[in-house]
A = this chain, B = another copy of it.
């Protein structure tokens, strides 16, 4: 029912803000024809400013063959903006009544084989699609800011979304140069924001208690966890840091530390099931790479990141 994701060439991006503009820039850089729907022509200047800023970075990252800002069309009539669209990225304001009114119209205007991805970070697709006559092709496709630079797109459907549309979106975003995360459940904050929000709230607690300043928080992150996290994430960082024993050693040996007051967040109970999920998950990612290989890759990547930052900062 849905077209081959690699056959898509025409995308409509809805929204004039940093997210809508960032998506438009990203798709243009990957060589798509992009129609941007702006609610009002007065938004055009700010929209073009976002595109200009994004294009500089996208050029430095490398443009796809044929990619051009000339392949952008700006339209302020919704029906005209959707005409010929093969995929729609929706980045309208984050208010449920606005999204619902929009999806009601999208559901009637767009052919049913056109998948709609929503950039929402705070709303659930189950709620957004409630007013849509064709809700089965509506999915979350949540980017991380700035969307023209950070590869992540979190993908999940609402209760009325078809599994086929969700799977199609995962394939499409990957072809379009993104790093898709296929979510297992529709949860508030999705995955990345939940992780970031836990860290953020602990930071606010520390500032509230006079334990750290905002500057301290950022010094700690930039020089400690972040250069390793960009290379390995957090699960594999612990897996590799524990040597040949990996995540099993981490949890069996340091599991009791989960009860220590190292954050205001209470840990879940470390059941046998949770322990095995973590261990099996890390082993699956590791595949046939051994500990030394992964530690050496981590070190090469951290060195590359630190040298790149130093060079970028003129050091």
Q: Give residues 183-201 of A contacting B (CB, 8 Å).
A: 183-185, 187-189, 191-201
A266–B201 CB distance below 8 A: yes
Interface residues on chain A, size class: 35 or more
In the complex the two chains form, what is the Cα distance from A146 to B141 in whole Å? 35
From B212, B228, B274, contact of A184 by CB (8 A): B212
* A227 / chain B contacts, CB cutoff of 8 Å: 149-150, 230
Q: Which of A81-89, A130-138, A159-167, A294-302 has 4 or more CB atoms under 8 Å from chain B?
A: A294-302
Q: Give residues 74-118 of A contacting B (CB, 8 Å).
A: none
Q: Does A248 contact B (CB under 8 A)?
A: no
A126 to chain B, nearest CB (A): 15
Q: Does A305 contact B (CB under 8 A)?
A: yes
Q: Give residues 227-249 of A contacting B (CB, 8 Å).
A: 227-236, 238, 241, 247
* A262 / chain B contacts, CB cutoff of 8 Å: 188-189, 193-194, 197
B189–A223 CB distance below 8 A: no
In the complex the two chains form, what is the Cα distance from A162 to B168 in whole Å? 62
Q: Is the interface of A mostly helix, strand, loop or mixed?
A: helix
* A233 / chain B contacts, CB cutoff of 8 Å: 217-222, 226
* A301 / chain B contacts, CB cutoff of 8 Å: 308-309, 312-313
From B122, B185, B200, B308, contact of A304 by CB (8 A): B308
**Given A197-B263, A285-B218, A295-B53, residue A150 in contact with residue B300 (CB < 8 A):** no
Q: Does A66 contact B (CB under 8 A)?
A: no
